[in-house]
Structures are given as structure tokens and as C-alpha cells.
Structure 1
Amino acid sequence: MSRTAFQNFKRAVVAMTALTAVAACNMQQPASAPAQRPVAEKPLAPLTLSPPSGGSAFYKNYYAKIQSSLLIHDQLRRDGGGPDTPFTAEMLARNFERIAFNSEYSTIGNRRVSQERAVKLTRWARPVRFSISFGDQVPEDSQQKDRQTFSKYVTRLARHTGHPISEASSGGNFNVFILTEDERRGFGPGLRAAIPGINPSDQREIIGLRRDTQCVVLAVDRDDDNQIERAVAVIRAELPDLMRAACLHEELAQGLGLPNDSPVARPSIFNDSDEFGLLTSHDELLLQMLYDKRLQPGMSADEARPIFTKIAAELMGGSV
């Protein structure tokens, strides 16, 4: 199938504001591989969900076809990169700047538009406590698979960031919800409980996800100090296993403070080509750089460039 005949993922579309960072996983055309102020945590209110209407069956079939097409085109790789995807310290530093110091979306009035803009370094200062919840209509076998993927990934994120990151059985400050189409459309109360004071436009975007969007993340920076204090990710339950895992990998990493994509980042999930579905060796280094103590929230790219250039050289075994 040609590049123009079918649509597939686009992950990591991000808008940064003082209140929220919003990232979504959307569909695009397949391509061959190219090249702190503590906030009291309160238990979340019970999910208020609409009864199923049968729409999930359509979406499940639709996304299964999408995944099949992606795999035919050698996309959604799970190998993390290898000899065919070499990168240097210079490339790593360049990719970090594009991904950590830019946002793919801008907000004009109440509208989010596709317009890249520079942002300051934003990350968590407080410990991150991830939790995962499922709608009642999500099959138990899917829940078990996702919990396993989630738990292993949370441990991996903690290891590579060096930041206090753990899994919480409930509550937490980074909440992941896997919901069917009907459950998500009735998720307004649950969303407002997870993100008190959520912008109405952000709520509408999540409740009414377009068909070409599989998942979305919101990261809250209420004090406009570039320190994330709460985040929520919502993922479609109808996605096949690999696409759900890809959403978990991208949205959790984005919610830690990597708000952009780069068309030249490789091997990386922060690239619209979707060559890679799961976090890569390159992306692990991006996370390590993001949480290096030599960098501080609120730094501009110009301020941070000498520092992250040095860090990239160190990580790649060289010096500057």
C-alpha cells in the first residue's frame, strides 16, 4: 500500500501552557524506515461511565487493520534500535534540544493550532507516582497484559531518569486510564477529579477524541514554574496490544517532560514516522539528560545548550 493510501499513527503532538501540556497519538501515513510545590494527593472519584453502545466493536476492527498495515510497512519496531540506526553525541544533543525545548502545538485563544514554538525545560520536581485504571468494559485479559507492560515500564523509567518514580495501587499523581469509546465519552466527572480545574477545551478534546487519535496526555504546571505536578493519560481500549503498548510508552515518557517530535530523531518514538513503537536506547538517553541535575526547570535552550551538549558527549563515551 502506498504512503498516501493509508493512515497510521502520529504520536507526540504537544501543546505547553501554564496549566497543561497536551500530547496526542494520531494517525499518519506509513513510511518505510528512514533513515515544587507539593500538592496534596486525594483518591480519585469512582469512574462515571456511560453504558456501551456497540461502537467499540467498530473501533477494535478499525485499529486492528491499522496495526496490520503498520507491521507490513516494518513500523512499530520493538528492538530499540541497532546497527542500522547509529547516532552520535552531536545528533543526541540536537534531538534533545528539538524534543525537550519545543512544543509542536501553540494555543491561540481557546484554540490549539499546529505551530511549533520554543518552550523552557519542564519536568517533575516531586516524586512521580503512576497509577493505571480500566473501564468496566475492558476485558480482563487485556487488563492483565497492560498491567504487566505498565509495571515493567514504570520501573524502566525510574531507572533511566534517576528520578523518584514508582507505581501506586491507587491515587497517585500521574494517572493512566484505559477506556472504551463509550466509557471515555462519559468520563467527564472522572477527568475533572483527576485534573481539578481542567481547561474545558482540553476536556472536550479528550472526551471527543477524533478517530485518528489513539491516546492523549495532559501534564499540569499550575504555578507556571516549569515543574509538572500532575498528569493524566487516556488510552483507547480498542487498540491492539502493540498499539496500546506504544501509547503507554510514548504518553508516559511525554508526560515526564519531552513535549515534541523530531523528524530526524532516530531511533526514537519521538518521530512521526512511527518506525519505532516502543522506547529506544536513544530515548532512554533523552530521559537521562532531561533529569540530569545539571539542568534545571525553566532553563531556555540557549542557557542549557552548553550543559546538555556536554552531557550528551559523556553519555556517548566522549568529551567536549
Structure 2
Amino acid sequence: MRSKIMPPYETIRAAKAPAAMPPRHRAALGKVSPLTRISALAGLAVLAGCAAPPPAFEAPTARAATAALDLPLSEIFPGSPRAAPVPRAAVLPSNSELARDFMELSFSLESGRRFGQFSRFEGPVTVALAPGAPPAAEPELVRLVARLRREAGLPISVGASASNHIRIEFVPRRKMRREAPGAACFVVPNATNWSDYRAQRRTPAGDWAQVKQRTAATVFIPVEATPQELRDCLHEETSQALGPLNDLYRLPDSVWNDDNFQSVLTRYDMMQLRATYAPELQSGLSAPEVQARLPAVFARLNPAGGAVRGLREDPTPRAYVNAVNRAIGPGSTRARRAAAQTAIQLATAQGWHDTRAAFGWYALGRLTVQSDPETALHAFATAGAIYRSTPGAGIQSAHVDMQLAALALSSGHAQEAIALADRALAPALEGENAALVATLHLIRAEAYEALGEGVQARQARLDSGQWAGYGFGSDAAARARAAEVAARAQAGRG
């Protein structure tokens, strides 16, 4: 299930104005421009994901609610639906890494529970919306199914059938919170509707680990979900109804990561789904049997990936997962900050220099941006440097640059804010994150205004408006975001 957490771009409102910053922070920014300092930190090397403790029979994924223009998606993201596979991660990981990830994604749940048999749908699959779906749901579902057919080669179609069927049901958020407080959306096996799910959720029928062959699954999404949140939930939960049941913090370019940075299925995800439905595999195989067949599967599907030469495990200790969950979950800021520091220490001890190492720093930045901007600046810059050195982590880098641009704006360094926002725009667009794109244009608009560049400021506001409705969901939410950014700019002029 997709966890209900604060999206990465939400912390604009959290930072204090420079007048409230410690004198040492103001002096440092006055001596060296933020961009120069940030670049130096980045040369060395807000928050995005959270899962509640799982029940005895858990749904597999956790995904954050995003906020969500009334423009058709094809106008918001030109070229959608795509005529070709997504361009991100043009170079896939090696086949050894793909096979290693496949095993961990397919034989474990988020809670860490392992199970012994492989499962998937056997034969053509149908997916349909339950009555009462929001108007935005149908075009999003049609677009997703077209991608799954084209990019993953799946025998899936929109429609209903007696078996091999995925149902998408929209439920009031309050009901979902009562059953799964940490989830924005989730998928369960064998249930046909909400009542059926509640009746069997603590029985073997509702336990993914007990499923030997998939015949039915239902995705639950809040009926109040904004267009962007709806799309994100459709992508992650439908794909997990079809394939991997686990999320891994180490995956940079996948929706199957509890950091929730990725919004739509990536090339990596499509490759893993293609492998899931490879003819060499079938439901009921044991983990050793699947592992023995994966070298041939990936050699055929990804010949450029090399031979599978043993599966070098790279597990993420539960201590790290627990620390991250505490850092991004409920609780006092002091306790959450300590948990983020624990995650950083654990990542350092493991020798990681990947998304797991970066995420701890990102969490620390989100938790200190108000109380200790100097620490936040260092944390974001460190996270950004790691993300930029990680193939496939462009959207993560864009979120970091947005945070740094907001800090620069509130410190009165408008030119640096523009440079950081400009650097983030391309990966934000590629990641199809409308809320992030709209926020970046708002930062640019306020920075241009501060520089007396009225024409550029007006154009940036128009650009933001193109994305705001899809990204934030309502005029009120879009105006609130604009007010937050304007307050940052005012602080920088104060």
C-alpha cells in the first residue's frame, strides 16, 4: 500500500524567515552565496515515504498521498500516452542486480516476512473501475493499461471477467484511515469489494504470503484523491497486484520504494513486470526454482545486461527501515530527528552510497529546515550529491534542489534560487510530478520579482498555473502553495 505521508515538496511552509534564523546562519549566507556553498557541499557528496507497522496479514506497499489543472494529461505531459518506453534510466542495472532485486521484490513483504512460493496471474488479466469512480480515473487507467501492454508485454485489458481480474474501488478516506492509518492506498488479494476486504483481512485469504496463484485483487484509493494522487496510486498498486509485493529503499528508479519519490512506472519497473510474466516462470515455483531460471529470463529480456553471476545480496536491515519510519512518521520533532540521525549512522556503517544513504540526510533536512537551517542546508546538499551520483535518481535530485531553492529564496539570494529551480525542472518534468513543477515555477516567479524582472515573473506564474490544478487538486490548494512561496520571498526581502 502507498503510505499516507507528507509529499517531498510540502516543506516549503516549514522553514523560518531569515529574521528568525540564528545569526551564524545569516552571516554565513551573507559571506558566501548559497549556490556557491551548496555547490561545494554537493561536491562532497522533506519527506517522502512512510509506512505504518503492518497488520498480521498486510497489504504489500506504502505510498504517499500527493496533492493534485483541468487540462488533459496529454497537454500536461506532452506525448502521453507514451509511444515508447519511458526515457529515465536509459541504462538498466546489470542482470545480476535485476535478478537479485527480483528475488527480494517477489519473495518478501514490506514487513520483512518471507514466503516460499512465487505467484502471478496465469493467462489474460482484466482491470476495471468499480462504480462511483472519479471522472479522472478512466483516462488514467486506460493510459496505464496501454503502457503495461506496450512496455511490459502484459496480456492485460480494461474490462471485467470472472477470474484474473483486478478491481479499482474508491472509498472515503476516513474509512481507509480507520483500517490502515498509514496508507493512502493499498491492494489486497481475493477481495471483491470493501466489505469483502474487511471480512477477510485477517484470514489466510487476505494474506499475500498465502497466495499460490493470483486470480483476483482489489486496489483501494480514496475517493477524494486528487488527480496526481489517483494516478500515483493506480501505478503502484495495480503493478503490485500484478507483480512484486515488496518495496525496497535501495531502488532509485522505481515506484516500489517507500521513499515515494517516483510517481509513475519506470523502465526498471516494466522490465521486472516483463520478467514476472516470462514463460520460463509460473505460479507455485519455489524461490530456489525461480532463482535458477532467472539467468535465462534476463539474458533473453535484457541481453545488454550481461550474465547473472551469482546474486550478491544487499539487504536493508530492519533497524534502518524502523529508523526511517520513525523519522518520517508521527511523533515529536526531537524523536524524529534522532531517528533520522540513526538512519544516517546505519547507512554509514553499512558503507552505502545510494538512495538509502541519501534518504536519511533528506529526512534530516526536512526535520531541521525550521529549527536549524544550517543543518538543513548541509543535509540537503549531502543528499543531493548522493542522488546526483546515483543513476536513475533524477527526480530525487529535483526535490532536493527545490528545497535548496526555497532556502536561497528566503535568504534573499534570488539568482541562486532561479538557478536551482531551473536545474530541477527537467527531471521534475521527466518524473511527471506536476506539483513539483508548479512549485518550482512559483519559486522562479518570486525570485524574478525580487530581481525586478516583471516579464519573467509573470511568465513563470503562467507556467506554474499550467501544472497547479493537476498537482494540487484545487484552486484553494494552489493559492495556498503560492502564498507559502510568496512568504518565503518576502522573508528574503525583509
The secondary structure found in structure 2 opposite 1:174 is strand
Secondary structure (helix, strand or coil) at the match of 2:280 reads coil
Partner of 1:92: 98
2:102, 2:272 within 8 Å by CA — same for their partners in 1?
yes
Letter in 1 for 2:173: E
2:124 counterpart residue number: 127
What is the identity, as a one-letter code, of the residue corresponding to 1:178? Answer: F
TM-score (norm 2): 0.41
- 2:257 is the counterpart of 1:271: yes
Cα 1:181–1:14 shift into 2, 3 Å: closer
* Paired position in structure 2 for 1:228: 214
Conserved? CA contact 1:269–1:278, under 8 Å: yes
1:98 to 1:168, Cα distance in 2 relative to 1, 3 A: same
1:150 paired with 2:157, answer: no
8 A Cα contact 2:107 2:287, kept in partner: yes
1:178 aligns to 2:170 (yes or no): yes
Give the Cα separation in 2 of the matches to 1:215 and 1:149: 16
Q: Could you tell me which amino acid in structure 2 is paired with residue 23 of structure 1?
A: P
Going from structure 1 to structure 2, the CA distance change for 1:238 and 1:217 (only over 3 Å counts) comes to same
- Residue 104 (structure 1) aligns with: 110
For 1:208 and 1:255, the matched residues in 2 are separated by 22
Aligned to 1:167: 158
Deviation, structure 1 residue 242:
1.6
Unaligned segments of structure 2, at least 5 residues: 1-10, 16-45, 69-81, 191-203, 308-494
Say if 1:12 and 1:176 are closer, same or farther in 2 by CA, change over 3 A. Answer: farther
Distance of 2:273 and 2:294 partners within structure 1? 12
Post-superposition Cα deviations, 1:174-223, rounded to whole Å, max 9, x if no partner, equal 110123336xx3xxxxxxxxxxxxxxxxxxxx57244531101112396x
Give the distance between the partners of 1:254 and 1:15, measured in 2 at CA: 18
Which secondary structure state, in structure 2, belongs to the residue aligned with residue 102 of structure 1?
coil
**Alignment correspondent of 2:185:** 215
Aligned partners of 1:118 and 1:313: how far apart in 2? 26
Report percent identity of matched pairs. Answer: 24
- Secondary structure of 2:263's counterpart equals coil
Residue 134 of structure 1, CA deviation: 4.8
SS of residue matched to 1:123: coil
Q: Which has the higher helix share?
A: 2
Deviation at 1:81, TM superposition (A): 5.8
Higher strand share: 1
Following the alignment from structure 1 to structure 2, what is the Cα–Cα distance between the partners of residues 10 and 250?
Answer: 15
Q: Cα offset for 1:86?
A: 5.0
Matched, 1:64 2:78: no
Instruction: Find 1:23's aligned residue among 60, 68, 78.
Output: 60
- Please report the RMSD computed on the Cα atoms of aligned residues, expressed in angstroms: 3.6
Shift, 1:247, TM fit? 0.4
Correspondent of 1:303 among 289, 300, 303: 289
CA pair 210-81 structure 1, distance change in 2 beyond 3 A: farther
**Structure 1 CA distance, aligned partners of 2:154 and 2:245?**
18
- Report the Cα distance in structure 1 between the residues aligned to 2:90 and 2:275, rounded to whole angstroms: 23
8 Å CA contact 1:25–1:247 kept in 2: the answer is no
For the Cα contact (< 8 Å) 2:61–2:247, is it kept in 1? Answer: no
Please tell me the residue identity of whatever aligns with 2:225: L
- Structure 2 vs 1, CA of residues 134 and 24 (structure 1 numbering), >3 Å: closer, same or farther? farther
Q: Which runs of 5+ in 1 are unaligned?
A: 28-61, 66-77, 106-114, 186-205
The answer (yes or no) to whether the contact 1:133–1:178 under 8 Å persists in 2 is yes
Pairwise CA distance, 1:80: 4.6
1:314, CA displacement in angstroms? 2.8
The reply on whether 1:246 has 2:232 as its aligned counterpart is yes
The TM-score with structure 1 as length reference comes to: 0.61
**Relative contact order, higher structure (CA 8 A, sep 6+):** 1
What CA distance in whole angstroms lies between the structure 1 residues aligned with 2:158 and 2:242? 14
Q: Which moved more, 1:305-314 or 1:95-104?
A: 305-314
C-alpha distance in structure 2 between counterparts of 1:84 and 1:158, whole Å:
20
Residue pair 1:257, 1:290 contacting (<8 A) in 2 also:
yes
The CA distance in 1 between the partners of 2:232 and 2:149, in whole Å, is 18
**1:254-273 Cα distance to aligned partner (Å, 9 max, x none):** 00131011222231111112
Give distance in 2, aligned partners of 1:163 and 1:84: 21
| Pairs aligned (count) | 233
Change (3 A) 1:236 1:82: same
- For residues 74-96 of structure 1, the C-alpha deviation after alignment (integer angstroms, 9 at most, x for no partner) is xxxx9956358752222211111
Change over 3 Å in CA distance of 1:226–1:208 after alignment to 2 = same
